[in-house]
Structure 1
Amino acid sequence: MTASTVAGQGDGTLADQAYRSISDRLVTLRIRPGEPINDERIAAELGFGRTPVREALKRLEHERLIVAYPRRGTFATEVQIADLGHISEVRQRLEPLAASLAARRAGQGDRGDLDRLLARLADASDGGTDLIRLDMAVHRAIYAATRNPYLEDTLIRYDNLATRIWCLFIDRLPGLAGHVHEHGPLLRAIIDGDAEKAAALAAGHVEGFEAAIRGLI
C-alpha cells in the first residue's frame, strides 16, 4: 500500500494515516496477536518515513493494541478473552449514550453519511473482513455524530478491542451478517432523531455481542 492509497482513506497527518492503516491490520488480526511490529518494514509498506509510523505506534500502544518491551521489541498485544467483561462494562454505558447523542446532535452531513451506510447495509452479505470493516464504519459514523471528541476517541478505542475479540472467533460465530444488519434499525432511529429508541437498540447490540462470544467460551 502506498502513501497515496492510505491518504485516500481520509484526511489527517501522515501519522494519522499510518495510525488508521496499522490499526486496521491489528484490529482485523492481519497482524496476529503476539506478532512482532517492525516500524521500518511497515514504513516501507506504507510509503512513509519512520517518524509518522513511530508516532502512530505510540498511540496504538496507549490504546493497548501493541506493547513495547525494553530490549525485546514491539509486539501486537494478545487478545485476552478475560477482558471481554471489562470492555463490555464500558460499552454498555457509553454505546447507548453515543447513539442517543447522535440522534439529537447529528447534522445534515452526518445524517447523509448514516443514510449511505444504511444503504450499504442493505446490500451487505456475509463477507468476513469486509463486513467487519462495514461494522466498524457504522460505529465510527455514530461516534462522530455525537459531536463529542472525547467520547468518540474513547469508544473507538473500546470498539477496536471488542472487534479484535470478534475477529478471533469469526470462523465459529454464525450469522455474522445478521449481527451487522442489526445496525439498520439503529441507524434509522438516529437519522429520524429518536434518541430513546437509538439508545435502547445500541444497548441491545452490545449485550448481544457479549452473549454471542460467551456462548463460545
Structure 2
Amino acid sequence: MSAVSAGPGLLAEPISLAEQSYRDIRDRLIMLDIKPGEPINDGQLALELGVGRTPVREALKRLEIDHLVISYPRRGTFATIVDITELADVSELRRSLEPLAARKAALGASDADRDALRELARDIERLRDKNVDKRGLMQYDLSVHRLIYRVAGNPHLEETLIRLDNLATRIWCLVLDKVPSVAGHIEEHADLLDAIVAREADAAEALALAHITSFEQTIRAVL
C-alpha cells in the first residue's frame, strides 16, 4: 500500500503497474518505512504490493538512479543510508530551483490548477483542527511540493525537484521526533499556495525561498 502516492491535493491518474510500484516503493523509502541500510526483497515487495516481480525490479532500477537504493553484485539491493552531510548540497540546489518552480506555477497555473492549489491551501489551514500526526504532516509537505512542481509546467524541473525533495524529506524524517513544531513548517505552505493562486509571482518566489531556508535552519538546529 502506498503511503503518499496520491496525497492531499493530488488527483490519482491511471498509471502502469511499474509506475505504481515505483511510487509505492519510493514513498516507503522516503518515509523510512524501509529503513536506511535495510535489504530489499523484491519478492516480498511484489507480494505486499499485489504485483509481479517484473514491475518491482523495474522500479528498483529507477530508484537506484534516484539514489534511494543501491545494488551490490551477489549481495542484493539495499535502501541507501541517509547522509546528513548531503543537506548543504541538496539545499543549495533547492534554494535556486524551488523559487523558480513557484514563479513558473504562479505565471502558468490553469484554472483547474488554481482550484487544486486553493483547495490544498484551505485544507492545510484546517490541520490543527484535524490533529494530524507528524507522519501525516510530512505527507502534506510532499503533496504541496509535488503539486507546485507539476503546475510549474516543466517536466525536467519537476523531475529534478522531486528527486531533491525526496532526499530532503528522508533527512527530515530521520530527525522528525526531534523537531519541535512540524505543523508550523507545513502551515507556511498556505501563504505560498495562495500567492501562486493569485498569480503573485514575486511573492511566491520569495515565500518558496524563505520556506527552503527555514527547513534547512530547522534541520541544522536539531542535528
TM-score normalised by the chain length of structure 1: 0.95
Provide the residue aligned with 1:189 in structure 2. Answer: 195
Offset, 1:106: 0.7
Q: Provide closer, same or farther for how the CA distance between residues 157 and 95 of structure 1 changes in structure 2, counting only shifts above 3 A.
A: same
Instruction: Report the Cα distance in structure 2 between the residues aligned to 1:82 and 1:159, rounded to whole angstroms.
Output: 15
Output the CA distance in 1 between the equivalents of 2:199 and 2:124. 19
Map of 1:1-217 to 2, 5 A cutoff? 1=1, 9-125=12-128, 126-217=132-223
User: How much has 1:9 moved relative to structure 2?
Assistant: 4.8
Gaps of 5+ in 1: none
Distance 1:166 1:90, change over 3 A: same
Q: Secondary structure at the match of 1:67?
A: strand
- C-alpha displacement of 1:11: 2.3
Question: Separation in 2 of the partners of 1:115 and 1:19?
Answer: 28
Deviations, residues 3-48 of structure 1 (Å, cap 9, x unaligned): xx99x95421111101111111100001110001111100110100
AA partner of residue 213 (structure 1): I
Per-residue deviation, 1:119: 1.7
* Residues in 1 aligned to 2:91 and 2:170: alpha-carbon distance in whole angstroms: 13
Secondary structure at the aligned position of 1:79 is classed as: coil
Q: What is the aligned length? A: 214
Q: 1:200 to 1:176 in 2, by over 3 A?
A: same
Looking at structure 1, the residues matched to 96 and 14 of structure 2 have their Cα atoms a distance apart, in angstroms, of 30
Structure 1 segments (4+ residues) deviating >3 Å: none
Equivalent-residue separation in structure 1 for 2:211 and 2:160 (angstroms): 18
Q: Which amino acid aligns with 1:46?
A: L
Aligned-residue CA RMSD (Å) = 1.6
**TM-score, normalised on structure 2?**
0.93
- Distance in 1 separating the partners of 2:17 and 2:164: 23
For the 8 Å contact 1:11–1:17, the answer to whether it is kept is no
Please give the alpha-carbon distance, in whole angstroms, between the structure 2 residues aligned to 1:72 and 1:121. Answer: 44
